[in-house]
Amino acid sequence: MLEPIDAALRDEVARFDPTLPVEEASTPPSSWYVSGAIWELERRAVLGRAWQPVASLHELVEPGAYASGCSVGEPWVVLRDDEGELRAFANACRHKGREVVRGQGRAESLVCGYHAWSYDLRGRLRSAPRMAGIRGFDREALSLPSLPVRAWGPWAWIATDPQAPALAPRVAELDAMLARTGWDRLRLHSRVSWTLACNWKVYVDNYLDGGYHVPHMHPSLDAQIDMASYRIELFEEFSVQTAAPVAAADPRTAVDPTQRIGGGAIYAWLYPNFMINRYGPCMDTNLVIPLGPDRCRVDYEFWFEEGEGEAARAFVEQSIEQAALTQREDIEICESVQRGLGSRHYDHGRYAPRVEHGEHHFHRRLAQDLRRAVGLTGADQ
């Protein structure tokens, strides 16, 4: 159900001026990070329209392999059908709405655990027990609604909005950039999730501050990347930060930067909430799942080029521990920022123009969607 847009919400959205250059701009007001009304608006105008990577393609190879989950209030199931097609459906049973399947697995049909209605792998209702005597029961009309689904990189992506803009043009340049790193050689090693007491945008902002906080908050990472080489490049739907490894060993870390960072690091952010960190023989990804105005979950995946033997295993463990250390430091930052944003004495900030323009780019892109949703003119600026 769409709520009517009230004037106060429109005014709050209008408080961030996307027409100003980064040198003159102020950051969005703190209300964007704490208000339930902005959160509801984002749910439908931003997150509800976004493509999300929901499963690894290597887990969806066999006919009947499926994965399911819930993305910003929309349960979904993605699967490989009996003809090899990737399909996705709204995972809400047409009987009483229970999620038809949960978790992941392999099945010949999707059977709802509540009253055993079953659907084939194309989402068509195949059986509904004990419905004798019902009138006007149109089985054909009771398929699971299809959702847009695409394969990109090593993932299956879905959009919960059937009108979502196409994925491929949004990621074409990023795809070319990552293809040059040989990312098709990577294999999924493991996943881990962290829940944070902060708005999802606090995490994204922190990621996009152009390495501004790295020397202050991440001594071990700072000892691996050469901050003088840090570059930020903006594209329409994503931005990319790059950095070279340090030239000489630094006592602040036991990690060998020439091995872990290799020829350089690519930190790519795809609007609105996905990050791909590609460096050396590693890739880790962060999907920021908004859970409420002041809560989010970050789902990490760790990918590595395949290596044999004890040295390769030790490297993988050390690399994951390093990523977890950086993440713990970032959690501390983000939760502290959220407390500050809740202060009656803080309203908005400013950008460091030569470092935080990636963050400014995110806020402008976000403002475009929010302004359009509340009917403000100039939404495309």
Binding mask 290-319 for Fe ion (x = CB under 5 A): ------------------------------
Instruction: Report the partner that residue 330 touches, choosing among ligand FES, Fe ion, none (CB closer than 5 to 8 A by kind).
Output: Fe ion
**CB of residue 211 to Fe ion, shortest distance in Å:** 9
CA distance 1 to 163: 17
* 8 Å CB contact between 268 and 238: yes
Smaller CB separation from ligand FES, 144 or 373: 144
**CB of residue 134 to ligand FES, shortest distance in Å:** 13
373: number of Cβ within 10 Å: 20
Instruction: Report the partner that residue 131 touches, choosing among ligand FES, Fe ion, none (CB closer than 5 to 8 A by kind).
Output: none
Instruction: Report the partner that residue 117 touches, choosing among ligand FES, Fe ion, none (CB closer than 5 to 8 A by kind).
Output: ligand FES
Residue bearing tokens 């500050």: 340
Smaller CB separation from ligand FES, 116 or 352: 116
CA distance 171 to 334: 28
CA distance 234 to 89: 33
Smaller CB separation from ligand FES, 34 or 142: 142
Tell me which residue of 57, 153, 148, 69 sits closest to 104, measured CA to CA: 69
Residue bearing tokens 């922190």: 206
CA distance 64 to 78: 10
**CB of residue 285 to Fe ion, shortest distance in Å:** 15
For ligand FES, the binding residues (CB under 6 A) are 93, 95-96, 98, 112, 114-117
**CB of residue 189 to ligand FES, shortest distance in Å:** 36
Binding mask 326-355 for Fe ion (x = CB under 5 A): ----x-------------------------
Q: How far is CA 288 from CA 2, 267, 276, 305, in A?
A: 24, 15, 12, 24
**CB of residue 73 to ligand FES, shortest distance in Å:** 18
CA distance 355 to 345: 25
Residues interacting with Fe ion, by CB under 5 A?
Answer: 330
